[in-house]
């Protein structure tokens, strides 16, 4: 005898959705957790509330207020450090070449990369062997290094080096074969300072490279705690 299971039918034009028991589903459907009832109950996505949006905006504002100035200071600091390190590198190069080659090596401000013509070192400088010690590249002289200038917004000037003939004060430094800066006036005092400043003139943001009478280069220090670095003589530097 064939047994017929009772099947419940919906009334005509009914929109109700029956819950179908998992017992009537195929095994494969039961394994994946299939449910007509679950699939047909569509949930609405929930957006941000006004309070959540306001909190997010407030956090963003705080990050911008705190982060942007700090990022700017970090960028300026990195730029200054890179610039003064470039000058220190060429000072050490000039001294090393003077000792190695046994002849005078000149380092001077230059706007054209060929002649000594400026005391504004931010415009560029050159390093060259200077056989006749006259401060120009001629005859057997050899150009060793050339710098085309520092980024805009920086000043690089010198303090304390001896005047050299007709050259503008602070526009030229010469290293002797002993590794010492050349003493032009015979007072046994040929040291000097390179000071790197922002064009806004804030000494507290400056960087300093001091050249001793022995020709050694050292980073300037703040020994009196006033946040201003000192030149080779121990005085606070003054930005132009």
Q: What are residue 97's DSSP bridge partners?
A: none
What is the pTM assigned to this prediction? 0.70
For the cut 80, the answer to whether the pLDDT of residue 121 exceeds it is yes
Is the pLDDT at 232 greater than 60? The verdict is yes
Q: Give the range among 10-24, 103-117, 187-201, 221-235 with minimum mean pLDDT.
A: 10-24
At residue 1, the pLDDT reads 46
Residue 173 has pLDDT above 70, yes or no: yes
Q: Flag whether pLDDT at 168 surpasses 50.
A: yes
d(CA 185, CA 226): 33
- In this structure, the number of other CB atoms found within 10 A of the CB of residue 42 comes to 5
Average pLDDT value for residue range 67-85: 81
What rounded mean pLDDT belongs to the chain? 81
The arithmetic mean of pLDDT across residues 148-171, rounded, is: 80
CATH pick for 67-219 out of 3.55.40.10, 3.30.565.10, 3.40.50.1000, 3.40.50.150: 3.55.40.10
Q: Which residues pair with 109 in a beta bridge?
A: 125
147 CB neighbour count, 10 Å cutoff: 22
Using DSSP, state whether 93 is helix, strand or coil.
Answer: helix
Q: What is the mean pLDDT of residues 177-204?
A: 90
Spatial distance between the Cα atoms of 214 and 117, rounded to a whole number of angstroms = 26
Highest mean pLDDT among 21-25, 70-74, 130-134: 130-134
Per-residue pLDDT, averaged over 145-160, amounts to 94
Report residue 52's pLDDT band, with 50, 70 and 90 as the boundaries: confident
Q: Is the pLDDT of residue 39 over 90?
A: no
Where in the chain are the domains? 67-219
Element (H, E) at 202: none
Asked whether residue 70 carries a pLDDT value surpassing 50, the answer given is: yes
**pLDDT attached to residue 96:** 97
């Amino acid at each position: 005898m064939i047994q017929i299971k009772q099947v419940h039918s919906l009334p005509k034009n009914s929109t109700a959705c029956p819950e179908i028991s998992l017992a009537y589903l195929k095994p494969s459907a039961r394994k994946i957790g299939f449910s007509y009832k679950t699939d047909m109950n569509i949930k609405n996505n929930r957006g941000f509330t006004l309070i959540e949006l306001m909190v997010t905006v407030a956090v963003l504002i705080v990050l911008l207020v705190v982060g942007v100035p700090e990022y700017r200071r970090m960028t300026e600091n990195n730029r200054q450090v890179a610039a003064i390190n470039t000058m220190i590198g060429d000072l050490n190069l000039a001294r090393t070449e003077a000792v190695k080659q046994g002849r005078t090596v000149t380092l001077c401000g230059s706007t054209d990369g060929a002649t000594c013509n400026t005391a504004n070192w931010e415009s560029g400088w050159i390093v060259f062997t200077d056989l006749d010690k006259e401060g120009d590249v001629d005859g057997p002289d050899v150009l060793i290094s050339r710098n085309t200038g520092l980024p805009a917004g920086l000043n690089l000037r010198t303090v304390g080096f001896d005047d050299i003939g007709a050259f503008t004060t602070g526009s030229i430094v010469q290293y002797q074969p002993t590794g010492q800066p050349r003493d032009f006036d015979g007072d046994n005092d040929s040291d000097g300072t390179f000071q790197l400043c922002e064009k806004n003139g804030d000494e507290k943001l400056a960087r300093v490279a001091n050249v001793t009478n022995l020709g050694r280069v050292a980073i300037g220090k703040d020994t009196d705690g006033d946040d201003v670095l000192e030149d080779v003589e121990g005085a606070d530097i003054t930005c132009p």
